[in-house]
Amino acid sequence: MKAVRFSRFGGPEVLEIVDLPKPRAGDGEVRITVRAAGVNASDWKKRQGLLDQELPQTLGYEAAGVVDQVGSGVTDVAVGDRVFGASPYGAAQAESAVLSLWAPMPAKFDFAACAAIPAASETAARALDQLGVRAGNLVLVNGASGSVGSAAVQLAVRRGARVIGTGNPASLDFLRSLGAEAVAYGQGLTGRVRAVAPSGVDLALDVAGNGILPALIELTGAADRVITVADVEGAQRTGVRFSRGDSGRATYALALVAELAATEEFSVRVGGTFALADVAQAHRAGESGSVRGKLVLLVD
């Protein structure tokens, strides 16, 4: 099968399309013929050597496609079913991938939209859980227009929270469509937030990693009321928690979002699609910071 791989660290030019053996579904797993695979910031961090140091490496932790092999003990899907989900093996950007967690594709979502869901929804749900977001809370989501931020807005609203979402001026109408009160980020953010929430906010989630943690501490009143999923160094300096999956993942998020999407209570923005062979272009687009929404690789 064709798969994305790199054998040295560097820029997008190190990415290759190689032939690898087709994986097999183990106990409690399914294998899919991949039709779309999500691209995440962790992909270029891995490619740059900022995460795992082993070589060579494959890429991809989320995909959507058609089940073509069912592992032992799996009873809720059959060969031919359309599903989307998460792969623990970091090799989902390929023609075939094994999933350990999956959900049925909502009828009104295509493969690209479904491939954009797993990582963003799990990250968002995990951060909201760690913050303890519940009905009646006033929550600020910084960087709310991206894939993780928009998922966090929608899931927090569903919990009954009042949500303020920050984004660039062009994204504000989109944030309002998700149920957030939209505020432009940048210089003067604190004053703009206090214009709609004079007493500040109860909790804050930073998705953008744009140096905003001190302002979020000021708005919430304490570092332990803030979580970031994007700013490791800022978290260390300020005492804010950095959300990590190794302390437990919100595995329920996939089924929840599938259910919400099926009733049109959850929306996904795909920022761009690329052929598998054009993965380097996808990395360049993602690293540019100019794309709104999730980048997805399409597999024929």
pLDDT, residue 112, reads: 97
Instruction: Report which secondary-structure segment, H or E, holds 122.
Output: helix 118-131
| Distance from C-alpha of 5 to C-alpha of 57, rounded to nearest angstrom | 6
In 197-276, which residue ranges form alpha helices assigned H by DSSP? 213-220, 232-238, 253-262
Q: Is residue 73 classed exposed, middle or buried when 0-12, 13-18 and 19+ CB atoms within 10 A define those classes?
A: exposed
Structure tokens at 169: 């001026």
Span(s) in the chain for CATH 3.90.180.10: 2-117+268-298, 123-247
Structure tokens at 244: 């990590």
| Distance from C-alpha of 44 to C-alpha of 295, rounded to nearest angstrom | 13
Q: Give 8-55 pLDDT, tens digit per residue.
A: 999 999 999 999 999 999 999 999 999 999 999 889 989 999 888 999
Kindly report the pTM of this predicted structure.
0.91
Superfamily name and number for 123-247: Medium-chain alcohol dehydrogenases, catalytic domain (3.90.180.10)
CATH 3.90.180.10 fits 2-117+268-298, yes or no: yes
Per-residue pLDDT for the chain (300 aa), expressed as one digit of tens each?
999 999 999 999 999 999 999 999 999 999 999 999 999 988 998 999 988 899 999 999 999 999 999 999 999 999 999 999 999 999 999 999 999 999 999 988 999 999 999 999 999 999 999 999 999 999 999 999 889 999 999 999 999 999 999 998 989 999 999 999 999 988 899 999 999 999 999 999 999 888 899 999 999 999 999 999 989 999 999 999 999 877 788 989 999 999 998 888 999 989 899 999 999 999 999 998 778 889 999 998
Which of these, 102, 153, 146, 100, lies nearest to 125 by C-alpha position?
Answer: 153
| Distance from C-alpha of 279 to C-alpha of 68, rounded to nearest angstrom | 24
